[in-house]
Amino acid sequence: MQSESTHEKLSAELMARHEVLRDLIGCAPFHYVDIPVHGNIGDLLIMHGTLAFFRKQGLTPKLIAPYFAYDARWIAPEDVIVFHGGGNFGDLYPYFQELRERIVQSHPENRIIILPQSLHFSTPEKMAQSAEIFRTHADAHLCVRDQVSFEMAQEFTDHVYLLPDMAHQLHPMRAHVLQPGAGSLRISRVDDESSDHSRMLPTVSSTVTDWPQFVGEREARINLFRRAIGGFFRRGLGRQANRILVPLWMAYSGRLIADAARLFAQHELIVTDRLHGHILACLLNRKNIVLDNSYGKNSRYVEAWTGDSELVMLQKPQSASPVAQASLKLATL
């Protein structure tokens, strides 16, 4: 009988760490807020991982809503508010942070749980302003994905938890491809978190893309979902949108994830500066080289959770070993 690999054991341990969230939610009715309605596959993996966790734990959200179609007046005194995880806690993506701060201020008696996040603020002053708001709430629980974020989170609340990304709940993922994976795939950021790894690109990657390019023409359909959900909400039909349209979006976004998984499975090696390019490779048991993003989120995450996997190689910009050498090392595993 074949023994379990280090990667398989690690994946099981990462999923088990989320069980603390079951105790935090308890038996209370809860809202799952700030779900992504866009084409970023990483955020969709987090959402579907979170939903998988709820199913495993026998939890059913009272309400699921994106940030642009959520009304705080829907919150009853007994409700728990569970915010979607990810990497938008800070001032890089202000709309999401502003929603969290509004709920913290307007509902001091409701338990608030923020699922695993990476924290980043452009200045200490902006971080202090946000922390001051959170400190007014006695029952705010902040889950973070790395040690640096854990230390930062102490300024916001006394209830801080170091937990892996919710996407790990999807392990193991299966993708049906006609041929075994071959060659390498590069998933490279083109947004504000991008970093300069272009000099490394030609040596290791036979296929290059990013989430926006991968989604491509399907972005138009995604925007239809956004407009429909937002339109219902603006007409006072937000509850109907969240009851009817959100499940349809869940199904469609699941198809996007399946397509991304097939793309990854067609390659033997994944090279990425997308955190969820790395995590998706891990979910599919694919060898992967992780490059850092603009503010160190990726290296912080690997060092906290996945660095012990035999499938993972972290490549920091200051490292003396080029990515090509890292890829050769992984290829021998």
Q: Say what the pTM is.
A: 0.90
Q: Strand 112-120 to strand 269-272: parallel, antiparallel, or no bridges (unpaired)? A: unpaired
What average pLDDT score do residues 131-148 get? 97
**153 Cβ partners below 8 Å, 6+ apart?**
119, 142, 144, 160
What are 90's strand-pairing partners? 120
pLDDT tens digits, one per residue of 217-275:
899 999 999 999 999 999 999 999 999 999 999 999 999 999 999 999 999 999 999 99
Q: Strand 159-162 to strand 207-209: parallel, antiparallel, or no bridges (unpaired)? A: unpaired
Tokens representing residue 133 in the block = 């708001």
**262 Cβ partners below 8 Å, 6+ apart?**
175, 176, 177
Could you tell me the residue ranges of all domains in the chain? 6-169, 173-215+259-331
Please say if the pLDDT value at position 178 is more than 80.
no
Q: Between these two residues, 202 and 286, which has the higher pLDDT value?
A: 286
Domain 6-169 sits in CATH at: 3.40.50
222-244 core/surface letters (b: 16 or more CB in 10 A; e: else): beebeebbbebbeeebbeebbee
Residue-level pLDDT at 191: 55
Cβ atoms of 73 and 242 within 8 Å: the answer is: no
pLDDT tens digits, one per residue of 46-95:
999 999 999 999 999 999 999 999 999 999 999 999 999 998 999 988 89
Give the pLDDT band (50/70/90) at residue 320.
Answer: very low
